[in-house]
Chain A
Amino acid sequence: MMKILAYCRITNDSLLLNGTPDPVGPVQGAGTERLTAIYRAMELKYPKFHKMDNLSKAGFLASEMVLKSLSYDTETLDESTALVFANSSSSLDNDMRFQATLDKENYFPSPAVFVYTLPNIVTGEIAIRNKIHGETSFFIMKSFNAEKMHIFVECAFACKKITQVLCGWTEYLNGHCDVLVMMVRKDAAKGFDFNISNINKLYFDPYGTHDFRSEKADY
């Protein structure tokens, strides 16, 4: 049975880790400023964070919280974890930033901005940070779709060596942040069922008003 072991939800005004609101204390600001405030509140030491685009920053922070909550070993090469992410606006937020550097009157295309003009760079950032060498994929969909997310994760588990999948929705556009990252394990005894209903509950309850732990989860 596939189980959700841990999850993190980040929106413009909520931060939820395994059902607990504000796990790093209250954070101020909006957009990039808020993401940086979360980074600082987590007391991370990863200077590359500041070079990332907003999409990567949001996905990176949520994955950090999920993996830390599971005491994930970031030092050992891991071929048994896959990454499956999706969103609707691709890398448009950063694409527009790059476009601004192509101004005819002030033409200085930025290489550092250009390298983030693909949405799947966020999976690369997470994989590099955590030495994850399993399959990675990034899908672009019209809107959040729990059914498809469930199918994508099932497909990832079709690969025999994959035992867990870090997956979710990482959307960031024009200061609007909408992220859900989950760790799903195959044949797990703990956690709560990875099914369409539960994925939707996690996504549509960014403030943690419903205590999932009282159902089947066991953190």
Chain B
Amino acid sequence: MEHMILDLKKQIIEVLNLEDMTPEDIDDNAPLFVEGLGLDSIDALELIVLMEKQYSIKLEDPGKSKEIFRSIATMAQFIQENGTQ
């Protein structure tokens, strides 16, 4: 799981152009949106693309996205349970 979280942080930094950040700057359990990383709606769409591109996961139920994208830890958990990489 630790390895997965580190990979995910690196991928998020790259796809969201968070150039001034390192994986160490991102708290596993901090909120991704508004607080914490302060991501916005366009970033959310990029995360959906990332899940599909890197882990072949298509989010079928938009209602679950709020919980999946709550933090790095919840994202990693979801990928581990549903991903194919």
A positions within 8 Å CB-CB of B: 36, 47, 50-51, 108-112, 115
Task: Give complex CA distance A110, B45 in Å.
Answer: 8
A47/B49 in contact, CB under 8 A: no
B19/A50 in contact, CB under 8 A: yes
A50/B18 in contact, CB under 8 A: yes
Contacts of A47 in B (CB 8 A): 18-20
Counting from the closest, the 6 A-B pairs by CB-CB distance are A111-B45, A50-B17, A50-B19, A108-B53, A51-B17, A112-B46
Nearest CB in chain A to that of B41: its residue: A111
B positions within 8 Å CB-CB of A: 15-20, 42-43, 45-46, 49, 52-53
Contacts of A109 in B (CB 8 A): 49
B46/A110 in contact, CB under 8 A: yes
Contacts of A51 in B (CB 8 A): 16-17
Dominant SS among interface residues on chain B: helix
B51 to chain A minimum Cβ distance, whole angstroms, is 11
User: How many residue pairs, one in A and one in B, have C-beta atoms under 8 Å apart?
Assistant: 28
Task: Give complex CA distance A51, B17 in Å.
Answer: 6
Nearest CB in chain B to that of A39: its residue: B19
Nearest CB in chain A to that of B50: its residue: A108
Task: Give complex CA distance A115, B52 in Å.
Answer: 20
A-B contact pairs, 28 of them (CB 8 A): A36-B19, A47-B18, A47-B19, A47-B20, A50-B17, A50-B18, A50-B19, A50-B20, A51-B16, A51-B17, A108-B49, A108-B52, A108-B53, A109-B49, A110-B46, A110-B49, A111-B42, A111-B45, A111-B46, A111-B49, A112-B15, A112-B16, A112-B17, A112-B42, A112-B43, A112-B45, A112-B46, A115-B42
